[in-house]
Structure 1
Amino acid sequence: MKGLIKGNHLTQRAVAEGIGMSEQSLSQKLKGVKHFTADNMKNMAKYFGVTTDYLYGLADLTLEVF
């Protein structure tokens, strides 16, 4: 997730505000001090326009058309 933040030239403050949590809480979760909840992950995915599978490292951003 740190890569998404840096890659999009965002601050932790902007992301925290965008997903409805404090900057301190986001920082602690990014450092592994606290864990992201399912709702946190859903909000992060929506904010960045990716899937939760992508955030968990289970999928990439490419889509296959069948």
Structure 2
Amino acid sequence: MTNDLAKRIIDLRESKNWTQTQLAKKMDLSKSIMSKIESGHRKITTDELKSLAEIFGVSTDYLLGIASSTTSSQTTSFDIHDLLESNAQDSLQ
């Protein structure tokens, strides 16, 4: 089952016509780790989340599904650790 974070990463990667290998290289990760992130079998770290946001030019809120568009004028405060834990739990279901 693909969670929202994984789906957004895949959609953004595909919109750039990048392979998992290309994105993994930009993030200094292996293709195997990128595959596990996209399939929801591996938690993403805060640093990796920030890196993805920078690479794609989107907010972390967008990647996490808090914002529905890649550009958000609304600022909301969330505990990133709680969101990542929730994301990990969703991927296990």
Aligned to 1:15: 23
- Cα deviations by residue, 1:14-51 (Å, 9 ceiling, x for unpaired): 10010111110010111111111111100111111111
Q: Tell me the TM-score normalized by structure 1.
A: 0.87
- Residue segments in structure 2 that go unaligned for 5+ positions in a row: 1-8, 74-93
Q: 1:34 and 1:10 mapped to 2: Cα distance?
A: 20
Aligned with 1:34 (options 33, 42, 45): 42
In terms of fraction of residues, the more helix-rich structure is 2
CA distance in 2, matches of 1:63, 1:36: 22
Report the identity percentage. Answer: 33
CA 1:62–1:29 in structure 2 vs 1: closer, same or farther (change >3 Å)? closer
Once the two structures are TM-superposed, the CA of residue 63 in structure 1 deviates from its matched residue by 4.7
Work out which structure has the larger RCO, using CA pairs closer than 8 Å and 6 or more positions apart in sequence: 2
Q: Is the 8 A contact 2:27 2:51 kept in 1?
A: yes
Which aligned pairs between 1:47-66 and structure 2 lie closer than 5 A?
A: 47-59=55-67, 60-64=69-73
Equivalent residue for 2:32? 24
* Divergent runs of 4+, >3 A: none
Please give the secondary structure, in 2, of the residue aligned with 1:33. Answer: coil
